[in-house]
């Protein structure tokens, strides 16, 4: 599991560390990749962050012999990307939204959940919790809605990372 900390929002490191602890508790390998930047503010911040994110992940994958990265982009992400590009005035090619497969730095990027709505993913995980009694999903809402760097980091977090937070089931 890779977590990219864009270091654009207060508390982002702590959230990344929470994911690391959760992964460790589930017996999964995890790495936090931090975007080192002096001042990313300005025009094209989302694109700069996206490029940095994929550069960090593909470099890590290449260094560790990983041939593909699987993201948790889902149908809601696909719709949001389409609408954002439409709002910016993208042409037909730009409206293609998120591809199921792409290549970045020689590493395959796979997005197998693009046709699945977010609500179905959450319901599936909730059903797993009922059956297994040990998996809970915790969502984090940092209130970033003003177009600031906080909002960018929230956008990046929602689009590039699937967070499953393991908690002890209190019903046991």
pLDDT in tens, 61-91: 999 999 999 988 888 888 887 787 777 777 7
Q: Among 132, 120, 121, 134, which residue's Cα sits nearest to residue 165?
A: 134
72-86, 93-107, 142-156: which range is least confident on average? 142-156
Q: Torsion-angle region of residue 162: left (phi > 0), alpha (psi -120 to 50) or beta?
A: beta
The Cα 55–Cα 52 span in angstroms is 5
The Cα 22–Cα 61 span in angstroms is 21
Q: What is the pLDDT of residues 107-147, one digit of tens each?
A: 999 999 999 998 898 888 777 764 444 555 554 444 433 44
User: Which one is predicted more confidently, 105 or 150?
Assistant: 105
Partners of residue 2 on adjacent β-strands:
31
Determine contact, residues 81/91, Cβ cutoff 8 Å: no
CA distance readout (Å), 151 to 12, 35, 36, 54, 132: 12, 16, 18, 19, 35
3-state SS assignment for residue 31: strand
* Interaxial angle between packed helices 75-87 and 118-132, expressed in degrees from 0 to 180 and rounded to the nearest 10: 160
Residue 4: its pLDDT value, please? Answer: 93
What are the residues whose beta carbons fall under 8 Å from the beta carbon of 107, sequence distance 6 or more?
57, 58, 61, 62, 66, 67, 68, 69
- pTM here is 0.70
* Tally of CB atoms within 10 A around 56: 20
3-state SS assignment for residue 108: strand
């Amino acid at each position: 599991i890779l977590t990219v900390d864009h270091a654009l929002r207060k508390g982002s490191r702590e959230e990344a560390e929470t994911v690391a602890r959760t992964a460790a508790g589930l017996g999964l390998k995890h790495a936090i990749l931090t975007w080192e930047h002096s001042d990313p503010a300005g025009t094209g911040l989302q694109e700069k962050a996206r490029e940095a994110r994929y550069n960090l992940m593909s470099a890590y994958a290449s260094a560790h012999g990983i041939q593909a990265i699987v993201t948790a982009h889902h149908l809601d992400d696909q719709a949001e990307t389409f609408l954002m590009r439409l709002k910016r005035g993208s042409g037909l090619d730009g409206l293609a939204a998120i591809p199921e497969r792409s290549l970045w730095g020689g590493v395959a990027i796979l997005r197998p959940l693009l046709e699945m709505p977010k609500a179905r993913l959450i319901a599936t995980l909730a059903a797993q919790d009922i059956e297994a009694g040990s998996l809970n999903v915790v969502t984090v809402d940092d209130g970033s809605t003003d177009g600031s760097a906080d909002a960018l980091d929230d956008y990046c977090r929602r689009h590039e990372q699937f967070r499953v937070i393991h908690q002890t089931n209190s019903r046991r």
